[in-house]
Structure 1
């Protein structure tokens, strides 16, 4: 669905230059020829010039070919099947709209303003107002693409901007005027003015043709132009139709020029970049992600190329409800953000080069007097002046310096994605496209099949049909270009094979053979957006497995990781062939729901215990003895389990700082039989497989137990509000790291303070529980709270923090930062061993930020309990985390399996 608040497409010309990478996208969309039909003719589209004015006293400073025109035409034709073209956005948008309506006739809504957009974890929702009727409606979707020009939602989503803003105020006047016949050289698409009397380039302005083509070439009365100039900071002029036309006539230098204003726009020059391009289910594109100056015509092109990078990734993600492509979606920012920043800086430098290069050579400046500028300008044009020859030489050098705007195929089509170079083949210079310091080479496009680069252009022929290689790309899969027809069938549905050579398409010019980078036994794998994803030996690809290779390229998490919650802090995670328990409090007091009996637990590879208290450790002994699972816990918990009969070779004591590889049962058994590599270990330690065979790993960290939400036992609230702020240290009771301090108020001693008949049923059930068999597998003392960071491969990380506490020095240095955070949200927060001043919600926000704002947060230790606090209201914590960070809270149902990542 598309919602646009304006009643139709743009009414102001806006951007005009469409570079080859963008026309390639238009080609795929099926509108390339429609664009060419009304674009500027070739004799206009490839030339530009500088003048003092077009009047009787006006002089040409210099002129040059540009944008693949003139002397550059043959070079640019080698780069792409498409050509650079000139068409104002006001003419381009109707073509795109018509195509969109053809493809999706009932989901394009103009005159509809998006009021709000929200991420609800499993879906996104926008609120929309129909500006004609006033009706307000809500619409749900899987993802939201934010393309509002950065006017509203980037900031509302909490994304910050960096860069340079409000650099200049510019005035754009869309006019109708018969200028072509008055122009000394009407081949020039853009005429730049640098009038010494007006202070140089920026303040004088520029003028470019708008067509309409081809009619305007022979009908002066319908010619349209755009006049643009900067407004000096101390200029109080309020531009309206009269003042704008007067300013245009002054710059052009023809006082009586017939001119009618069509539209007027005031705008500011910005080079700003959003700090993130994805916020949960929201993606920023175009000016919502980067605001780029127009010098170089890279802004609109970058926006369209942003969308092209994102579209195929969204398509793959939407076809997979398991959300295995979430990491692929993250590459949108990874790949495009650096392109956006470079484009912005290049465009800004282009703008400054007009005064920094042209004006400098001419000797004029906005800071000089008019008399000084006029004298300098006269010297530039006076052939008898002693500096004339030198100035003419320098102006040619200045023209070359402006190549970054007018002849920059490296910027226009040579950009690439270093992060997509999965095997690091590019080295320091990526085939010559960048310097060793990382600077992109602008003057030349070096075609290459290094992963991350664009598929080189080549024309191929088959059955009297000639197409470009890009025309053979599949939009729903990766395309594998091979020469060997034996590789025509690959058992991987995400790969389509195209044969170039032998019995397939014929490379008539030899261009593909020159640049493909592999021999007949190899292949080149290309993404739907034309970016090379992989190249190499087909034998090696088969050895790795095509599915595994494609998963690696697309960053697919193909492990079907799941998580189940059984109350309090007890979870079961299944991933990579492992079954992992996080705490084991399954046999609970009678008044609490029990959704998994220990007798029903048939397999477990590892048990992790956060600490040794009664609501965390019980059950670990029975599960470990029954399944043979290894138990990783602090020394106090390990001693309890040892006394409970858990075999010594299943116990792994930790205190924080350990990195432990995790192996499937099959690997551990194979290691015990000596069938696979064994890792060296300390004397007496059980034999373990080599770490390279691990299915996952965990990094154990010290953490802290929460504190009680009050100054004494009597202060504990019936309802723990995670939004309530607690200030100050209060008593020893509130500050202790062990909530059963001295066991004065602990459950084992509660009978000394409260007669049994004074207890309610809930309290009695807990007293009975801790005085029953469970007391053999618990401790009054926590033994040192632990936090665990699990790495499951493919970059997917889970951090489990089973209490509302921690050390900020550890939280902010945990690597890799987690994708998912399981965070306890009960009690008063304990930061660095002292009571946290603030609410549980505020602490949770701080934890999320320290951890880099995990995508998903899961609360625990908040479910109903028959002792104080009876319940925990987590809504303030959820609202705070989702408002102040990009993290999204996911609520799990007891005993229900959910996707982990």
Structure 2
């Protein structure tokens, strides 16, 4: 008699589909909250292609929270990038743009504990760092070589069918994060559409090895933008790492003249560089689609989407991966709050409300950069748009005007791209202030685990917020400034940066965004703030 064997079944709190930088960051964040997390990834080896490489200052702040900044900087190219525009790589440059347009140059740490300039760490170098950090969390497991076949939200749990070399199994997860890429099978199965342009350009990425960047620019972090209608057309030669790996990105004119498989990329690269004897070792060449779209929904029941599964942007500015990592920085604490029982599931509804407007904003900026640099077939690159390279407002100035915030005053008004002035307004990333003379402990280091209440010592609104949080079962910590406070010497600078008046209290969420400002003059303000934070009522 034949017996039917049902697939083995595992139970987890959160299952993450995809072990790219977004999925891995989500796993580390959830692990820090003690959430039982399983990551499944169909790949068994890293891609040969570097793909994303720009890590923004805000993402570096997230990595600071995760304890991996030193490893990321060690794996990155040294210094901040320069951009050089020319007809080839041997003639004089037509334009040179550096990234030193910040207050005190790219090393300025007045606005954040990490330098303002982007860190160039290619994705194939970043992923192993994040894998190690995720596997160091006691509650995180990563299964490589595992393919998801079905995802079924029953309402009470999500049943995920997985196939690996160990056979088939079903994982019952309380929630799923789908970080399964731009062609997300989960998003497609859920019937979630997208808004935007799926195909701005069919481009190529040619990975090759050559010393051209270091030799021609004297700086291994420089990007060479080529604009030559007689040879290559409009492309970018981008550094990958310190081993002289380089990528040529864009749509060379040759792609309109012959089939892709017939192109001799060694010859094309030499023509583009302007030296027929240039040392070029082509390692890989593949096409990819430049898109600009945002998913219509970020959530369906117990399934949440993140990263490329919900937004795709042109690469100019390097916004897409950073936006994705900040997606999960937003949703991880909310999932932990719901799973730990002190927040209602309605809190998860604020994920889309808060993050989708940011993605739409960032996508529009990336498209402007694309139009500016790529130009058109007749004209080639038009200009270097300053916001393509210097964008602290986009990186750390984004704000949540609705969602798990209380008392936002600038609903849906947008924010500057090329500048940033911190104010500690509701919904903003809380300002950075060095709390010690050595400049090693930032206010941002106070956040990440629970609700943080910042105030001068003796603040009545702060005391009320702490007492009410206790009564609601909300984890919190109080940090005080001034006489008898936790940080006596930093009071003046903190009060100025946060624009604090009197004994006003500032409530900051685990993701470092301001939940509320409490001055004690508005009846019911504490309750409204904490209930919004716990997903128990809509914020006013």
Fold in common (TM above 0.5):
yes
Question: Which 10-residue stretch deviates more, 258-267 or 338-347?
Answer: 258-267
Q: Residue 100 in 1 paired to residue 140 in 2? A: no
Q: Tell me, yes or no, if structure 1 residue 48 matches structure 2 residue 69.
A: no
- Which of 358, 363, 376 matches 1:339? 358
Deviation at 1:254, TM superposition (A): 1.7
- Measure how far apart 1:421 and its partner are: 8.4
Partner of 1:179: 212
1:223 and 2:244 matched:
yes
Q: 1:16 aligns with which of 53, 65, 69?
A: 53
Q: By how many angstroms is 1:240 displaced? A: 5.0
Tell me the distance in 2 between the aligned counterparts of 1:233 and 1:246: 11
Secondary structure at 1:313's aligned position in 2? helix
Q: Distance in 2 between matches of 1:80 and 1:403?
A: 21
Alpha-carbon distance in structure 2 between the residues aligned to 1:296 and 1:258: 29
Q: Does 1:116 align with 2:96?
A: no
Q: How does 1:694-773 map to 2 (within 5 A)?
A: none
Distance 1:106 1:449, change over 3 A: closer
Taking structure 1 as reference, are residues 467 and 77 closer, same or farther at Cα in structure 2, changes over 3 Å only?
A: same
Q: What is the match of residue 217 of structure 1?
A: none
Q: Is the 8 A contact 1:157 1:279 kept in 2?
A: yes
1:149 corresponds in structure 2 to 181
- What whole-Å deviation, never above 9, does each CA across 1:326-384 have from its counterpart, x for those lacking one? 2210010001111111111111110110244xxxxxxxx6337xxxx9xxx9xxxxxxx
Shift of residue 466, structure 1, vs aligned partner: 4.3
Relative to 1, partners in 2 of residues 1:243 and 1:268: Cα closer, same or farther, differing over 3 Å? same
Per the alignment, residue 524 of structure 2 pairs with: 544
Q: C-alpha separation between the residues in 1 aligned to 2:95 and 2:140?
A: 52
Q: Separation in 2 of the partners of 1:140 and 1:7?
A: 23
Please tell me whether the aligned partners of residues 181 and 307 of structure 2 are also in contact (alpha carbons under 8 angstroms): yes
Could you tell me whether the CA contact under 8 Å between 2:89 and 2:274 is conserved in 1?
A: yes
2:316 paired residue among 295, 304, 309: 295
Q: Could you tell me how far 1:412 is from its partner in structure 2?
A: 1.6
Quote the residue 1:310 is aligned against.
331
Q: Could you tell me how far apart the structure 1 residues matched to 2:483 and 2:440 are?
A: 16
1:556 correspondence with 2:530: no
Aligned residue for 1:342, secondary structure, equals helix
Q: 1:61 aligns with which of 94, 107, 114?
A: 94
**Displacement of 1:547:** 5.3
Q: Distance in 2 between matches of 1:20 and 1:244?
A: 35
1:873 aligns to what?
A: none
Q: Please tell me whether the aligned partners of residues 146 and 282 of structure 1 are also in contact (alpha carbons under 8 angstroms).
A: yes
**1:517 equivalent in structure 2:** 499
Answer whether contact 1:420 1:451 (CA < 8 A) is retained. no
Q: Is 1:197 matched with 2:170?
A: no
Is the contact made by 2:404 and 2:532 (CA closer than 8 Å) also made in structure 1? no
Alignment of 1:390-789 (within 5 A): 398-399=383-384, 402-420=385-403, 422=405, 424-427=407-410, 438-461=413-436, 466-475=440-449, 477-485=450-458, 490-491=466-467, 492-493=469-470, 494=474, 495-503=476-484, 504-508=486-490, 510-537=492-519, 539-540=520-521, 544=524, 546=526, 549-556=529-536
Secondary structure of 2:251's counterpart equals strand
Quote the residue 1:884 is aligned against.
none
Q: What residue in structure 1 maps to residue 196 of structure 2?
A: 163
Matched residue of 1:60: which SS? Answer: coil
Output the CA distance in 1 between the equivalents of 2:220 and 2:144. Answer: 37
Distance in 2 between residues matched to 1:550 and 1:32, nearest whole Å: 32
Return the alpha-carbon distance in structure 2 between the equivalents of residues 509 and 252 of structure 1.
55
Offset at 1:533?
A: 0.3
Question: Distance in 2 between the 1:167 and 1:420 partners?
Answer: 32
* Cα pair distance change 1:234/1:106, threshold 3 Å: closer
Contact 1:173 1:264 in 2 (8 A): yes
Note the C-alpha offset of 1:467: 0.6
- 1: CA distance, partners of 2:417 / 2:373: 18
Moved more, 276-285 or 159-168: 159-168
Whether 2:316 is the aligned partner of 1:284: answer no
Unaligned runs of 5+ in 2: 1-37
Q: Secondary structure at the match of 1:115?
A: strand
SS of the residue corresponding to residue 161 of structure 2 reads: strand
Change (3 A) 1:146 1:427: closer
TM-score (norm 1): 0.51
Q: 1:523, CA displacement in angstroms?
A: 0.7
Say whether the 8 Å CA contact 1:208–1:227 is kept in structure 2.
Answer: yes
After superposition, the Cα gap between the structure-2 partners of 1:64 and 1:231, relative to the gap in structure 1 and judged at 3 Å, is closer
Write the deviation string for residues 14-48 of structure 1: whole angstroms up to 9, x where unpaired: 11111111001101111011111222212xx2321
Whole-angstrom distance in 2 between the partners of 1:41 and 1:156: 43
**Aligned-partner SS, 2:74:** helix
TM-score normalised by L of structure 2: 0.84
**Higher gyration radius (CA):** 1
Residue 3 of structure 2 corresponds to which residue in structure 1?
none
| Cα distance per residue 1:698-756 (max 9 Å; x no partner) | xxxxxxxxxxxxxxxxxxxxxxxxxxxxxxxxxxxxxxxxxxxxxxxxxxxxxxxxxxx
Give deviations 1:880-900, integer Å, cap 9, x for gaps.
Answer: xxxxxxxxxxxxxxxxxxxxx
Evaluate the alpha carbon distance shift between residue 459 and residue 117 of structure 1 in structure 2; reply closer, same or farther with a 3 A threshold. same
Indicate how the Cα distance of structure 1 residues 548 and 272 shifts in structure 2: closer, same or farther if over 3 A, else same: closer
3-state DSSP of counterpart to 1:73: coil
Superposition RMSD in Å: 2.8
Q: Give the Cα separation in 1 of the matches to 2:434 and 2:443.
A: 6
Cα distance in 2 for residues equivalent to 1:263 and 1:516:
50
Q: Kindly state the Cα deviation for residue 70 of structure 1 after the two structures are TM-superposed.
A: 9.8
| Distance of aligned partners of 1:272 and 1:548 in 2 relative to their CA distance in 1, 3 Å threshold | closer
What is the deviation of 1:486? 5.8
Cα distance in 2 for partners of 1:69, 1:41 equals: 18
Cα offset, 1:11, TM superposition: 2.7
Aligned length in residues: 490
Gaps of 5+ in 1: 213-221, 357-364, 378-394, 429-433, 558-793, 796-901
Paired residue secondary structure (2:532):
helix
Deviation at 1:242, TM superposition (A): 6.4
Name the CA distance, whole Å, in 2 between partners of 1:144 and 1:531.
Answer: 24
Query: 1:465 Cα shift?
Result: 8.4
Change (3 A) 1:71 1:544: closer
- The structure whose RCO (Cα within 8 Å, separation 6+) is larger is 2
Change (3 A) 1:67 1:181: closer
Partner of 2:32: none
Does the Cα contact within 8 Å between 2:406 and 2:515 map onto a contact in 1? no
SS of corresponding position for 1:247: helix
**SS, match of residue 112 in structure 2:** coil
Deviations 1:569-588 (A, max 9, x none): xxxxxxxxxxxxxxxxxxxx
Counterpart of 1:383 in structure 2 is none
Tell me, yes or no, if the aligned pair for 1:482 and 1:520 is still in contact at 8 Å.
no
Compared CA separation, residues 404 and 509, structure 1 to 2 (3 A) = farther
Q: Output the CA distance in 2 between the equivalents of 1:248 and 1:531.
A: 46
